[in-house]
Amino acid sequence: MEVGTKTNMLTLLEYDEPVYDGFRKIKRGVFECECGQIKTKMIHNVKSGMTKSCGCLYKFIDKEYMIQVNKNKIGMKYKKKIK
* CA 69 – CA 32 distance, rounded (Å): 32
- Label residue 79 by pLDDT band (50, 70, 90): low
Task: Give 32's pLDDT tier (boundaries 50, 70, 90).
Answer: very high
Give domain limits for the chain.
6-77
**Mean pLDDT across 60-81:** 63
| Cα separation, 59 vs 77, whole angstroms | 27
pLDDT at 70: 66
Q: What pLDDT does 44 receive?
A: 94
Quick one: pLDDT at residue 75?
53
What percent of the chain is modeled with pLDDT above 90? 57
Contact at 8 Å (CB) between 4 and 29?
Answer: no
